[in-house]
Amino acid sequence: MRQLLALLLALSLNLLPVQAAERIVSLAPFLTDMTLQLGAGARLVGVLDDGQLPPELSELPAVGSYQTLSAERIVSVRPDLVLAWTSGNPPELLKRLRGWGIRVEQFDPQRLDDIASMTLQLGELLDQPAEAQALEADFRAQLEQLRAPPSLTRPKVFLQLWDNPLYTAAGDQLLSDALSLCGADNVFADLAGLAPQVGREGVLAANPEIIIALADQGVTAEAWLDDWRRFPKLAAVQHNRLHVLDSDLLVRPTPAIIGGVEQLCGLVR
C-alpha cells in the first residue's frame, strides 16, 4: 500500500524519473555522430541521410534528407525521442512531431564551448553520463592544448566557404570561434548571420594575411586560390599564405572536430 501511495504521489507531482529513450531518431548527421560516440548507436531507429552514413548504420531506415524530411516516415519508426538541429530542421516539422506527443530535443552548437555542453546534455538524455563526462573532459583538455597564448600579433584571416558568389564565416559561426582559439582574427567577424555573402572588393579592402578555402567533397578549392593570385598586392598573396582545408573536418560539431581545429591552427601559426 505504501508503495502504491508513493507511486500515486510521484505521478501527481510529476516526480517520476524520465525513462531513457530506447528508440531514437536523429535529424542531423552531427547528432547521429554524437549518439554513436556516446555508445547509444544501437538505439537509433531512424536517421537523416546526408549520403555519408557510417557503414554500421547502412541498414537503418532513412527518414529523408534535409530537403525531404517526412513527419510520417519519422512517426512510422515509433521513436520515443527525436534529436533535432535547430538551424537545420524545419520548425513546423518539429512542432508537428511535438503535437503528436513525440519528445523532441533541439541542439544548435555554434561555439566550441557549446559542443562540450551539448555532450554532457546528450549524455544525460541518452542515459550515458559517464561516457559523456569522459568525452567532454578529453575534448576540453585538447582544446586547451591548442589554445594560443595571448598575443598582440594576431594574423587576419579570410575564411572562404564558396566562390562566385563568395561566402564566408561570420563571427557567430563555429569556424570563427575555432579561428580565434588558434590565435587569429576573422576579417569578417563583425558581419551578421552565420555564412554571409561578401564581395571580392570587400576582401581586398580587408587585406587578409591568410586565406583559407574550405573545400568539401567534389570541390577543387585550388582554383579559388588561383583567383586571388591575380591580386599581387594582397597580403596573403605576397606572403604565399593561401591554403585549402577539408571542410569535412570542421562541418560536424562534435568532439571529433578537434582534428580539424588542430589543422586550422597549424595553418595560421
17-36 pLDDT, tens digit per residue, is 456 789 999 999 999 999 99
Cis peptide before 165 (omega within 30 of 0): yes
- How does strand 44-47 pair with strand 81-85? unpaired
Spatial contact of 136 and 119, defined as CB atoms under 8 Å apart: yes
**Residue 220 confidence (pLDDT) above 80:** no
Q: State the Cα–Cα distance between residues 206 and 185, nearest whole angstrom.
A: 12
Q: What does the block give as the cell for 55?
A: 557503414
Which residues on adjacent β-strands are paired with residue 168?
160
The stretch 188-211 carries a mean pLDDT of 96
Q: State the Cα–Cα distance between residues 103 and 81, nearest whole angstrom.
A: 5
Spatial contact of 175 and 250, defined as CB atoms under 8 Å apart: yes
Spatial contact of 208 and 156, defined as CB atoms under 8 Å apart: yes
Least confident of 1-15, 65-79, 93-107: 1-15
What one-letter code names the amino acid at 162?
A: W
pLDDT bucket at 101, cuts 50 / 70 / 90: very high
Residue bearing cell 505521478: 11
> Which whole-number Å values give the CA distances from 32 to 2, 47, 60, 113, 214, in the listed order?
43, 7, 12, 19, 23
Residue bearing cell 604565399: 240
Rg of the chain over all Cα atoms, to the nearest angstrom = 22
Spatial contact of 229 and 239, defined as CB atoms under 8 Å apart: no
User: pLDDT at position 215, please?
Assistant: 84
Q: What does the block give as the cell for 180?
A: 580565434
- Cα 149 off chain centre by: 25
Spatial contact of 28 and 87, defined as CB atoms under 8 Å apart: no
Least confident of 187-196, 209-218, 249-258: 209-218
**pLDDT > 70: percent of the chain:** 92
Q: State the Cα–Cα distance between residues 211 and 181, nearest whole angstrom.
A: 17
Spatial contact of 266 and 43, defined as CB atoms under 8 Å apart: no
Residues 6+ apart with CB under 8 A from 19: none
pLDDT bucket at 6, cuts 50 / 70 / 90: very low
What one-letter code names the amino acid at 148?
A: A
Residue bearing cell 562534435: 254
> Which whole-number Å values give the CA distances from 147 to 59, 110, 266, in the listed order?
40, 18, 12
